[in-house]
Structure 1
């Protein structure tokens, strides 16, 4: 392994479980965008929201998901046609993703300004991750967070756990840069040092797109099996030679063995060698 080692990480669903915050912020935004008088969700909506959270690629989709649930759209339909349903709801409501995103950010900003402690308290770092982060400098591994969350939120959450990471290594939503482009930039910056780069992500669709990029062939790709993905997605990942599934226990120690398919495709995750 080369001396320059870079651990690129998604944030939500890999480092931090923010499901409770997602639900609360999404519900508050939903009631405002659709101007509802009813301020309490119907029974079971929160549970279905959690089940369908893996469908969400960008935060503004969360209130739209609640809207779909309120309209009685079935789980099966959403799992097979989420983007089409999402776009139809926006059109019928004369909304745009930008407008919903702005409202979502306003709700979150107001909450943080008025009660930062309660907002931070709805986020839980996955077991072992905080200790891992604090030990990375000793292992000469540089973390880079690549996320659709705004960098300022990531910084606040890290600091709450006593983790200081320079803004240089937190690439958030405000950069408007795809994860593919972010990984290419990491490789470009370290071209002279030929760094080993690993990327841990909980969305199979994101990893699948990255795997098609010839320029990123050297990047090792890992699906976080503890994150916001489904059993079907984890099973599908086992059949892809470029993607390895990673268990939380192995991630927290940067070692162990990744799980591969049943057709003799067993490989070591080998994150420490």
Structure 2
């Protein structure tokens, strides 16, 4: 195994195409808060959610996003005023972010308990990624850095026969930012090159602001949840832009 290089990979949008599952979980959870919403999520809402997925940082936000879509907000309107719209919903519902995180996780737990196979099927890995990660595990040390709760990452990796020990999954449970995790990995692995693959442009730009992370090689995952504008802006930044086939060839 080559220990001179380690990989830190975001999960949703880099490893897993979880947009449909996130939309459905968000809808299910929203239905428990707002009883005017029908139990079954309309397909058009799932399609619209995929369009706004790039601005969602953490899964619980899907609850608010699906509520906004149900209320008739357009994709364009949500993009233009996302922060204010979700703050308004939080105030109207008298609910906190921590409440939403708990509700989102519990809603997933119920779905998994009721039909694990269906839940896993709604979380497909991107084409070729399963074999890539199985190969990566034989050649390099690698980590998952995600805003997803760790138990869900473990379920999906296990379902795809991908082995990764618990200490190599840094999820929402740890209350660490991705910047903090990368700093920790540099401490744990001195004299190594760390590659960090991420599909959210703001996350990568934030990493660039930290001088102590200057040695981290940043990969912008173009196959993930980002917009045409993100891709244009990314060209001007000090990181590598990769299509999925480039990542698979690493």
TM over 0.5: yes
Q: Report 1:188-203 matches (<5 A).
A: 188-191=187-190, 194-203=191-200
The separation in 1 between residues aligned to 2:230 and 2:157, in whole angstroms, is: 29
Secondary structure of 1:218's match?
coil
Q: CA 1:48 to 1:137, structure 2 compared with 1: closer, same or farther past 3 Å?
A: closer
User: Which runs of 5 or more structure 1 residues have no equivalent in the other structure?
Assistant: 255-273
Q: Please say if 1:206 is aligned against 2:216.
A: no
User: Which runs of 5 or more structure 2 residues have no equivalent in the other structure?
Assistant: none
Q: Please say if 1:228 is aligned against 2:217.
A: no
Say whether the 8 Å CA contact 1:33–1:100 is kept in structure 2.
no
Say whether the 8 Å CA contact 1:127–1:252 is kept in structure 2.
no
Q: CA 1:197 to 1:37, structure 2 compared with 1: closer, same or farther past 3 Å?
A: closer
Q: Report 1:1-273 matches (<5 A).
A: 3-36=3-36, 38-41=38-41, 44-139=44-139, 141-191=140-190, 194-240=191-237, 242-254=238-250
Say whether the 8 Å CA contact 2:137–2:163 is kept in structure 1.
no
Q: Deviations over 1:229-248 (max 9, x none)?
A: 111101110011x2221110
Q: C-alpha displacement at 1:77, in angstroms?
A: 2.6
Structure holding more helix per residue: 2
The separation in 1 between residues aligned to 2:89 and 2:120, in whole angstroms, is: 31
Instruction: Single out whichever of 153-162 and 5-14 deviates more from structure 2.
Output: 153-162
Q: C-alpha displacement at 1:70, in angstroms?
A: 2.2
- Calculate the TM-score normalised by the size of structure 1: 0.87
Q: CA RMSD in A?
A: 1.5
- Calculate the TM-score normalised by the size of structure 2: 0.95
Secondary structure of 2:196's match?
strand
The separation in 2 between residues aligned to 1:47 and 1:201, in whole angstroms, is: 23
Structure number with bigger Rg: 1
Aligned residue pair count: 249
Q: Which residue of 2 aligns with 1:266?
A: none
Q: Deviations over 1:215-263 (max 9, x none)?
A: 00000111100001111101110011x2221110010111xxxxxxxxx
The separation in 2 between residues aligned to 1:204 and 1:37, in whole angstroms, is: 33
Instruction: Single out whichever of 58-67 and 209-218 deviates more from structure 2.
Output: 58-67
Q: C-alpha displacement at 1:81, in angstroms?
A: 2.1
Structure showing greater relative contact order (alpha-carbon pairs closer than 8 Å, 6 or more residues apart): 2
Q: CA 1:138 to 1:94, structure 2 compared with 1: closer, same or farther past 3 Å?
A: closer
Q: C-alpha displacement at 1:41, in angstroms?
A: 4.0
The separation in 2 between residues aligned to 1:41 and 1:170, in whole angstroms, is: 31
The separation in 1 between residues aligned to 2:41 and 2:163, in whole angstroms, is: 37
Secondary structure of 2:230's match?
helix
Q: C-alpha displacement at 1:142, in angstroms?
A: 1.1
